[in-house]
Amino acid sequence: MVHTTQCCILMGCLCLFYPWSQVCEWREPEELAALLDLELRENGEPQHQLLQRIRDVAKYSVKTNHPRFFNQLFAGVDYHALTGRFLTEALNTSQYTYEVAPVFVLMEDEVLSKLRSLVGWAEGDGIFCPGGTMSNMYAMNVARYRAFPEVKLKGMWSLPRLAVFTSQQSHYSVMKAAAFQGIGTENVFKVKVDDRGCMIPEDLGETIELAKSQGAVPFFVHATSGTTVQGAFDPLEPIADICDRQGLWMHVDAAWGGSVLFSKEHKHLMRGVERADSVTWNPHKMMLTGLQCSAILLKDTTHLLKHCHSADAKYLFQQDKFYDTSLDTGDKSIQCGRKVDCLKLWLMWKAVGSKGLEERVDRAFTHTRYLVEEMKRREGFELIGKVAPVIKERMMKQGTMMLGYQPQGGRVNFFRMIVISPQLSHQDMTFCLNEIERLGNDL
């Protein structure tokens, strides 16, 4: 079924896996558009030209699995996970019924169950979503449905004004969710954080009272384990106490931080997570499964997820099927077709075991500690401020490494260093500091 020339193209893909010298090969947009010849035409192209196009796409794309790509909350590559991704693409099925995805329905169940057990739940529910923002949206929607089941049928007009609570440094997906789900961004109440970026529980209590005094009805607290910029872990125990007292849904956005649960040494950062109602966890971040792999996990055992999202499409979820239709998990989703996201994680987990994943987490923390110590020993690293954008521009144009900068709160621009790739060594940390010094030495 595969022609030789097509095989060549498949192989062309695999040739990408050599060590690159540069993290990126910067081109201005106009120049890049011309180099790529993006236009789509009436006639097809010969195979040698397609092969060249593949090489060009690879050449000018950012090498996110380069050891010195520190720019996002994903980086590096795990070849077992990558194999799982290739296999997923080759098998091309949709994760909604046992009929078309028998292996993946059972596999998703096993992977979710294992993630839940790390959270501390012996049972519960969950589903893989296209990214952490969607997982967070699921949590907000299911929480709203638990509090006001009539919302599904009647919409928000049947409800009082609702209020959501999250820290000043939580991910912007909380705002996106509130806007998209008709709750409104001004009904997201921001709770103060301490110096380290962790939510202050006392302020949560006060903010809840404030919202009530304005006539809003609190229903959802969105805590964060691993904030996007500072990597802060909100104190879950006191937050859980407040949610218990007030009868609020407690969600933990552990998209970034969740993977500490693999580590005996570091899981204390999420102490109290088992008291949450739901958890977002993105193995595509610290665990390196590759984009996308995000789970929403629920403690609920009453099929809230299905009741909240089901639309009972008869063409897909026939009830006169010859097998147990509770295996048709698609109606838990707000999507119809859904990509298979469990295989890459499952295969990697089989390959390295929970122990191997634990080692990765521990190694990332070791690198971070080393980096902090090194930085303290050097002068000039507190004065980045206005020069960060210039250093960044030089970095990109020379392609030696990639890391991101941003301001936050009262702070001026600073670099955010993401250290998760298992390929990293202390030498890479030193390189990074030297490189910032080199790129900025005349500023």
Which listed residue (41, 247, 427, 442) binds its own copies by CB under 8 A?
41
Q: Shortest Cβ distance from residue 330 to its own copies (Å)? A: 11
Q: What strand order describes the sheet that includes 402-408?
A: 69-70, 402-408, 411-416
| 173 scored as a contact of its own copies (CB under 8 A) | yes
| 354 scored as a contact of its own copies (CB under 8 A) | yes
Q: Shortest Cβ distance from residue 430 to its own copies (Å)? A: 21
Which listed residue (68, 70, 107, 436) binds its own copies by CB under 8 A?
107
Measured from the CB atom, is 207 or 289 closer to its own copies?
289
Q: Shortest Cβ distance from residue 378 to its own copies (Å)? A: 24
Which listed residue (217, 275, 325, 351) binds its own copies by CB under 8 A?
351
Mask: binding to its own copies, 4-23, rule CB under 8 A, as x and -? Answer: --x--xx-xxx-xxxx----
Nearest in space to 254 (alpha carbons), one of 354, 119, 386, 435: 119
Size of the site for its own copies (CB under 8 A): 151
Residue with tokens 């009262």: 410
The residues in 203-262 that bind its own copies, with binding defined as CB under 8 A, are 228-229
Q: Shortest Cβ distance from residue 244 to its own copies (Å)? A: 26
Q: Shortest Cβ distance from residue 410 to its own copies (Å)? A: 13
| 53 scored as a contact of its own copies (CB under 8 A) | yes
| 168 scored as a contact of its own copies (CB under 8 A) | no
φ and ψ at 262, to 5 degrees?
A: -75, -20
The residues in 264-323 that bind its own copies, with binding defined as CB under 8 A, are 284, 290-292, 308-309, 311-316, 318, 320-323
Q: Shortest Cβ distance from residue 153 to its own copies (Å)? A: 5
Which listed residue (176, 190, 267, 438) binds its own copies by CB under 8 A?
176
Mask: binding to its own copies, 122-141, rule CB under 8 A, as x and -? Answer: --------xxxxx--x---x
φ and ψ at 101, to 5 degrees?
A: -145, 55
| 355 scored as a contact of its own copies (CB under 8 A) | yes
| 172 scored as a contact of its own copies (CB under 8 A) | yes
| 373 scored as a contact of its own copies (CB under 8 A) | no
| 387 scored as a contact of its own copies (CB under 8 A) | no
Which listed residue (347, 371, 419, 429) binds its own copies by CB under 8 A?
347
Which listed residue (111, 143, 297, 401) binds its own copies by CB under 8 A?
111
Q: Shortest Cβ distance from residue 206 to its own copies (Å)? A: 23
Measured from the CB atom, is 174 or 242 closer to its own copies?
174
Whole-number CA gyration radius for the chain: 24
Taking the C-alpha atoms of residue 425 and residue 437, their distance in angstroms, rounded to an integer, is 19
Cα-Cα-Cα-Cα dihedral sign, residues 76, 81, 83, 88: negative
| 422 scored as a contact of its own copies (CB under 8 A) | no
